[in-house]
């Protein structure tokens, strides 16, 4: 491959390609890994940024992008293009920049593409990483989009008060583990649910939840919630939807709040399950509020300062599940929907 | 019956008796009219109030009281006792009072019993009627509990802004007709739905809704809403639930609000219908908030002043559906659940 002139900069670029729109559960085979090529040089006058991807984030919203564009989520996402690489959040190192605020060598996080090298055409959406005394992968999770989701959802949407009863579903995940810890720091009583014994142990012994249970072992979710919340739930941080939401509605306290972050149990079924116990919203005067992290990005630097100091002071802990190499990306991504990940699911592309 | 001493005060007292707990749609025959007797004199030292009932209110919540007590609505209601008279809101005239703030001849509204004469044991819950230059029956509706519901639900829960798109279901009813008019006074674009051509005409021609439609003639509620709200719905005042709510969720705008007042379409079915389109709460960052009028009673006098002046200035109009006599009570009450009432359903007991 050694050559001269323009060709010198052309290198192999391993990529994860999205095959075609998916219905039902996504499978590893809905993506494939291939090697394209990329010119490690921006065209003259380009305002884009050329990056080397270091860490990629597996996030549940990526499932929605595997469907044809839908007007209902059009305000938030744009679907993937079949035959093109998967995109998602990641941490990357800048190799060349056409943008005045970003320079070679900068570390950034933001939306990138599942490949070794990417040309990012909207570099203004990237956030420069200033604190490098924490693992860089944290910017895909606790210090990135999912962390900001937990923070905004908990403080801005849940209106928490000391002493309140808080329930978090999918509690061992990227968002849930932080929500539970923030709730504990606020002085709440916190119960989490997750899908395995290992995760339940993490919740109780590592993240400091007051109680935790494996929802897969509960035949009657209503009874399980009554057991953990004999006085009812003030705040439900909703990550899963469906039957869990229906059971929670039966257990809300007066003036309770439900922050609707996501409903992962519904993402792979064509017609979402119906939720029936909605009259409890009236009886219990419940506020159910959906939110999208992107509406809170102006709070990012405040969030970052808070979280970095919590992490350094040992007040907050964090568990990641790291898959090595782009080849492991498809399995890691689809694993979110079977609960394979223990903690935040990350894919490493390169260690520097 | 002419006698002397204590017996002089014993008179016939026509009553509507609740037979037994109901499942499915309530029927006229779930109640019966009988004549008991009452002593028109309070016992010595009683702190109760003896009233002559003038107008009784038919309200959808009364259906919930026809079921055995349920912990989920226990914070709001207490079920009827089989074999005892129906209770509900009404307007009454005080014949004798053991309560220091209430005196003979006062007109009051509040919770009473479906009979000619009632002894009200919690007179502190009654509200004295000061403005008698409006029809007294208005205190069962626009100036009573349903009016206060519309006012609190619209101003406190919907957070309305001028120019917003507002949808009201069960719009020709007691609550809905006022919500629509308050929304028009706020400068909103208002569409209502109701179950007959007559009601749709009222909405457009009497209550000043911008548009109205008969939901029973729409096979596809989503399509109907898209027709009336091509730009989506900012505020939904929810009175009916079920399929209508599911269709509304598909049509909410970003940062929309749903004030959950009631879900009458679900009150007569054992297992409420499932609502599926809940992920739109996330995508559109919707706030869904339930409320109960009793939480807002401290605003009653402000509400009353506002409404009385709106009525006198002709800014608000009001339609009642008046059934004559206690005998017509059971049919009037069950008629709410087939939409027989056109406007607020009232039952007259006595005209003075
Ligand atoms: N609104 C926003 O802006 C925003 C932003 C980020 C994330 N979110 C949402 O937040 C939620 C959590 O995201 P995350 O990144 O923290 O993911 P995560 O929890 O790290 O990973 C997903 C987890 O979901 C659980 N799960 C999968 N299928 C399930 C099912 N059918 N029923 C119940 N649980 C199931 C699995 O854990 P178990 O082993 O416990 O089953 C899995 O590990 C998702 O709903 C996501 O869409 C929303
Ligand atoms: N949260 C609170 O504090 C509070 C207080 C008062 C009332 N509410 C609620 O507010 C709502 C309206 O009460 P209201 O007093 O104004 O009653 P209303 O609207 O005067 O009367 C009930 C109306 O509901 C409609 N309806 C009946 N069955 C239906 C069904 N299956 N699907 C759709 N519509 C149906 C009928 O009109 P159509 O001809 O249009 O079908 C009927 O005329 C009810 O849900 C009630 O429970 C709540």
Nearest residue to B166 (alpha-carbon basis) of B268, B239, B109, B91: B239
Q: Residue B171's pLDDT is what?
A: 98
Q: Residue B132's pLDDT is what?
A: 95
At residue A273, the 3 state secondary structure works out as coil
> How many CA within 13 A on the CB side of residue B82?
8
Task: Report residues whose beta carbon is within 6 angstroms of any ligand 2 atom.
Answer: A 282; B 59-61, 146, 149, 170, 172-176, 194-196, 199, 239-240, 261-265, 291-293, 336-337, 339, 341, 344
Q: What digits encode the pLDDT tens for the residues B1-14? A: 444 445 557 999 99
Q: Residue B2's pLDDT is what?
A: 42
Cβ neighbors of B112 (< 8 A, separation 6 or more) are: B51, B53, B56, B87, B88, B89, B90, B92, B118, B120
Q: What digits encode the pLDDT tens for the residues B155-214? A: 999 999 999 999 999 999 999 999 999 999 999 999 999 999 999 999 999 999 999 999
Residue of A nearest to B245 (CA): A278
In this prediction, does ipTM exceed 0.90?
yes
Residue of A nearest to B289 (CA): A287
* Exposure string for A123-139, b = 16+ CB within 10 A, e = fewer: beebbebebeebbbbbb
Q: What digits encode the pLDDT tens for the residues B248-307? A: 999 999 999 999 999 999 999 989 999 999 999 999 999 999 999 999 999 999 999 999
pLDDT means per 10 residues, chain A with 352 residues, are 54 97 97 96 96 98 93 83 97 97 97 98 96 97 98 98 98 98 98 98 98 98 98 98 98 98 96 96 97 97 98 98 98 98 97 76
| Whole-angstrom distance, CA of residue B123 vs CA of residue B346 | 22
At residue A5, the 3 state secondary structure works out as helix
Joined together, the tokens standing for residue A200 give 């339940």
**Does the pLDDT value for residue B326 go beyond 80?**
yes
Domains and CATH numbers, chain A: 4-141+319-348 (3.90.180.10), 145-294 (3.40.50.720)
Residue pair A145/A172 in contact (Cβ under 8 Å)? The answer is: no
Collect all residues of chain B within an 8 Å Cβ-Cβ radius of residue A261.
282
Residue of A nearest to B288 (CA): A288
Question: Residue A276 is nearest to which of B76, B271, B295, comparing CB atoms?
Answer: B271
Q: What digits encode the pLDDT tens for the residues B66-125? A: 999 887 777 788 999 999 999 999 999 999 999 999 999 999 999 999 999 999 999 999
Say if strands B10-18 and A344-348 run parallel, antiparallel, or are unpaired: unpaired
Between the CA of A92 and the centroid of ligand 1 the distance, in Å, is 24
Please tell me the residue having the least CA distance from ligand 2 atom 22. B336
Question: Would you call B290 and A281 a contact, using CB atoms and an 8 Å cutoff?
Answer: yes
Residue pair B344/B140 in contact (Cβ under 8 Å)? The answer is: yes
In this prediction, residues B323-345 reach a mean pLDDT of: 98
Burial class (CB in 10 A: 0-12, 13-18, 19+), B23: exposed
Residue pair B257/A288 in contact (Cβ under 8 Å)? The answer is: no
Joined together, the tokens standing for residue A224 give 């399980």
Q: Residue B3's pLDDT is what?
A: 42
| Whole-angstrom distance, CA of residue A249 vs CA of residue B214 | 31
* Exposure string for A90-99, b = 16+ CB within 10 A, e = fewer: bbbbbbbbbb
Joined together, the tokens standing for residue B199 give 């009601």
| Whole-angstrom distance, CA of residue A277 vs CA of residue A288 | 13
pTM: 0.96
- Residue to mutate (ligand 1; options A75, A173, A177; most atoms within 8 A of CB): A173
| Whole-angstrom distance, CA of residue A232 vs CA of residue A166 | 9
Between the CA of B208 and the centroid of ligand 2 the distance, in Å, is 20
């Amino acid at each position: 491959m050694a050559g001269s002139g323009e060709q010198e900069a052309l290198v192999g670029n391993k990529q994860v390609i999205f095959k075609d729109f998916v219905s039902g559960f996504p499978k590893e085979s809905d993506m494939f890994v291939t090697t394209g090529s990329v010119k490690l040089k921006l065209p003259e006058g380009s305002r884009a940024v050329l990056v080397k991807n270091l860490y990629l984030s597996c996030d549940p919203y990526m499932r929605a992008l595997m469907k044809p564009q839908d007007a209902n989520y059009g305000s938030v996402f744009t679907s993937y293009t079949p035959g093109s690489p998967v995109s998602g959040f990641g941490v990357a190192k800048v190799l060349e920049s056409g943008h005045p605020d970003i320079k070679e060598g900068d570390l950034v996080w933001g939306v990138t593409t599942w490949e070794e090298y990417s040309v990012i055409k909207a570099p203004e959406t990237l956030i420069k990483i200033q604190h490098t005394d924490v693992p860089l992968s944290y910017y895909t999770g606790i210090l990135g989009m999912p962390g900001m989701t937990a923070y905004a959802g908990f403080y801005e949407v849940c209106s928490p008060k000391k002493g309140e009863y808080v329930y978090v579903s999918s509690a061992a995940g990227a968002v849930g583990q932080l929500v539970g810890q923030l709730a504990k720091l606020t002085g709440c009583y916190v119960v989490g649910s997750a899908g395995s014994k290992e995760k339940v142990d993490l919740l109780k012994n590592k993240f400091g939840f007051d109680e935790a249970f494996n929802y897969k072992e509960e035949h009657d979710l209503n009874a399980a919630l009554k057991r953990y919340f004999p006085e009812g739930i003030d705040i439900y941080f909703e990550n899963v939807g469906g039957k869990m939401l229906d059971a929670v509605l039966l257990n809300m306290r007066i003036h309770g709040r439900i922050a609707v972050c996501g409903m992962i149990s519904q993402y792979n079924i064509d017609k979402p399950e119906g939720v029936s116990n909605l009259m409890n919203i009236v009886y219990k005067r419940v506020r159910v509020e959906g939110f999208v992290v992107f509406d809170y990005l102006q709070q990012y630097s405040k969030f970052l300062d808070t979280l970095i100091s919590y992490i350094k002071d040992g007040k907050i802990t964090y568990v990641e599940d790291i898959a090595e190499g782009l080849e492991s990306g498809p399995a890691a991504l689809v694993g979110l929907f079977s609960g394979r990940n223990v903690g935040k699911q990350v894919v490493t592309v390169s260690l520097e």
